[in-house]
A = this chain, B = another copy of it.
Amino acid sequence: MSASGFASLPKPPYYAVIFSSLRNDRDDAGYGAMADRMVELAAQQPGFLGVESTRGADGFGITVAYWDSEDAIRAWRQHAEHTAAREQGRRDWYDHFELRVAKVERAYGWNRSPE
């Protein structure tokens, strides 16, 4: 994840894992540390392309992780430390989440020109 929040991605096709979640109001420090660790760990996995993530003050957040293949998504899902983090998420941090796996077919970006 770049400082700006945007992932730098190759040209499509590639895969997106869209994770929408509602945090409860407990254990912000523990959750934040784990979220940072999962980004750090995901970025070390084969096939990881990038991640974008944000959460509003109401606790609703969206994280989109980008991968080069379904195999890479499957391997990350089976990673032991990630599996443990997901279990802790259900136990301690989330009230609701939805996960969607999608194949990105086209992409377009725009940046403001320097004034």
Which B residue sits closest to A104, measured CB to CB?
Answer: B102
Encode A1-29 as 1/0 by CB contact (under 8 A) with B: 00011110100100010101010000000
Contact B102 A105 (CB under 8 A): yes
Point out the residues of chain B lying under 8 angstroms from A90, CB to CB: 110, 112
**Interface residue from B52, B94, B104, B111 paired with A20 (Cβ < 8 Å):** B52
**A 87-108 contacts with B by CB, 8 A:** 90, 94-108
Chain A's interface size range is 35 or more
The 8 Å CB contact of A61, one of B54, B94, B95, B107, is: B54
A30: interface (CB < 8 Å): no
A64 within 8 A of B: yes
- Known contacts A107-B101, A109-B97; is-contact A55 B56 (Cβ 8 Å): yes
At the interface, yes or no: A34 with Cβ under 8 Å from chain B? Answer: no
Cβ distance A83 to chain B, nearest Cβ, rounded Å: 14
